[in-house]
Amino acid sequence: MDKWLRSNNVVKAIALMIGILLWFVVHLDVDKTTATTTPLPIEQTINAVKIIPFKLDEAHFSMQKMDPEYANITLKGKQSVLSKLNTNAIQVQVDLSNAAVGTHAYPLKVINVQNSYVSTLVPNMVMITLEELQKKEFPVTINVVGIPSAGYIVGQPIVNPNRVHVTLKTSDLNIVDSVRAEVSVDKAAAVITKQVKLTAYGKDGKPVDAVITPAVVDVEIPITVPFKEMPLQVKVVGTPAQGYSIASMTQSVKRVTVFSTQAALDQMEFYEGPQVDVTDLKENKKITLDIPLMNKDIRVDPVKVEITLEIVPSSTVTISNIPLRISGENDSFVTKVILPETPVIQAVLEGAPDLLAKLNLQDIQAIVDVSNLSPGKHELVINLSLPMFIKSAAIQPQELKATVEIMAKVDALGSASPTPTPSTSPSSSQTPTPSPSATPVIAIVEPTPSVTPVVSSIPE
């Protein structure tokens, strides 16, 4: 034995064997310790987790029902791992990216936790009912409420855009009646500009929960003094050069908007514009004039007008059988024309050739004014009422005068009625009705015209 122990090889072999035995002893102890200290997996249940739909095409579908709305999750794993989980972040989702109209079952998915820890999900499917959405266009209605400041009126609201789209499920779209917003103009004295949110209303007048595109519109409400649109009257003064006439006159502005008090506007049927002086004109002319203000309380839009005048060489035409008309008769008198014997006249008229060619006898009136005349015979000037730009020629074949006789009316016994004071208010022309015993006297005689006008040129 001593001999073996003194041998190095024997000692080395013994040492190796002891080392191997020690290795086995150590590792066997570790495995036993590990087997006795490894904990068993545990289960943790999370109840009533809200099911969240995602990837739903909300532009085309509306979810009507989801059953159930909550799910229960059971997790399984080491306690050391599960205790570190944020259970508030764990969600249950349903993917609706491929959803279809109607009621269908869709699978559920747990997120924000590894699938290896999810033991059970109850339920694992959910029933969802979808309905298709549709769009319909509606005009925007602005309800104006309130009263503006004294002397101001509210204009028509201007809306941009003035039409919008309402998106709603198909079954409810027909209940929408209008899309409206309300704007107050109370005590306003200037234009109101603002953005307003729109609301859809049903036929019962109640709001409807719908998607409106756009949901907000721009509104402008004019607040102005009273105004009225009316014709613009341009007056011609003077006469063109001898041998020339106005063939036409055009205005760039025919109607104007007049701003004033309501009382003043109620009295106005037209607006008196500028005067155009045509004195000694021999050629066409274009002129821009300011539209005058009648007083400080009036404003006019627009403020200028352009006048275009066409001047041409004159022609003349002789019109015969123009009936005489009496104006300004007193109901207490009988008036008759005694000269000329036939109460018609002949007149030479001057104007542009085109205007004379269109002239009719009905366009001309020969008037004798007997206003405020006493009974007896009177020689009076005949006034011609002519169309625009037509005038009486300087040279006439006869003097345009007439003699009238004014007599008191005769009663049924042949005696004259008392002579009243001549009327200061001319009455309209009419034929007097004589008493049965008197000889009828006709105040106006209008023979049927039978003369064709003859046109001749005036030398320059």
444 vs 107 pLDDT, higher one:
107
CA–CA separation, 172 vs 64, rounded Å? 12
pTM: 0.49
Q: Which two tokens stand for residue 206?
A: 């109640």
In 10 A of CB 206, how many CB atoms?
9
Instruction: Provide CB contacts within 8 A for 330, sequence distance 6+.
Output: 370, 420, 422, 423, 427
Which range has the top average pLDDT, 19-23, 37-41, 235-239, 294-298? 235-239
Helices vs strands, H then E, count in the chain: 6, 33
- Which pLDDT does position 30 carry in this prediction? 52
Percent pLDDT > 70 in the chain is 84
Mean pLDDT (the chain) is: 83
Report CA-CA distances (Å) from 370 to 341, 407, 410, 416, 425.
18, 12, 20, 20, 11
Instruction: Give the per-residue pLDDT at 118.
Output: 83
Domains of the chain are 42-123 (2.170.120.30), 147-216 (no CATH), 227-313 (2.170.120.40), 315-457 (2.170.120.30)
DSSP letter, residue 39: P
pLDDT of residue 460: 35
Q: Indicate the helix (H) or strand (E) that contains 289.
A: strand 285-290
* 455 neighbors 348 (Cβ within 8 angstroms): no
**Which segment of 21-35, 181-195, 222-236, 352-366 scores lowest on mean pLDDT?**
21-35
Q: Convert the pLDDT of each residue in 151-175 to its tens digit.
A: 888 999 999 999 999 998 888 888 9
Residue 418's contacts (CB-CB under 8 Å, 6 or more residues apart) are: 408
Q: What is the pLDDT of residues 288-323, one digit of tens each?
A: 999 999 888 899 999 999 999 999 999 999 999 999
CA–chain centroid gap for 237, Å, is 40
Between 41 and 33, the higher pLDDT residue = 41
Question: Which residues, listed in sequence order, are joined to residue 318 by a DSSP beta bridge?
Answer: 348, 454
Q: Which of 48-62, 410-424, 440-454 has the lowest mean pLDDT?
A: 440-454
Residue 201 has what pLDDT? Answer: 95
Q: Is 217 exposed, middle or buried (0-12, 13-18, 19+ CB in 10 A)?
A: buried
CB atoms within 10 A of CB 114: 11
Q: Which residue has the higher pLDDT, 439 or 260?
A: 260
What are 74-101's pLDDT values in tens digits? 988 888 788 788 888 899 999 999 888 8
- Binning pLDDT at 50, 70 and 90, where does residue 376 land? very high
Mean pLDDT of 260-265: 88
Q: For residue 60, what is the DSSP state?
A: T
d(CA 430, CA 459) in angstroms, rounded, equals: 42
What's the rounded mean pLDDT across residues 365-389? 93
What is the per-residue pLDDT for 397?
Answer: 64
Both tokens of residue 198? 């729109």
Query: Out of 119-133, 151-165, 215-229, 401-415, which region has the weakest mean confidence (pLDDT)?
Result: 401-415
Checking if the pLDDT of 421 tops 80, the result is no
16: alpha, beta or left? (left if phi > 0; alpha if psi -120 to 50):
alpha
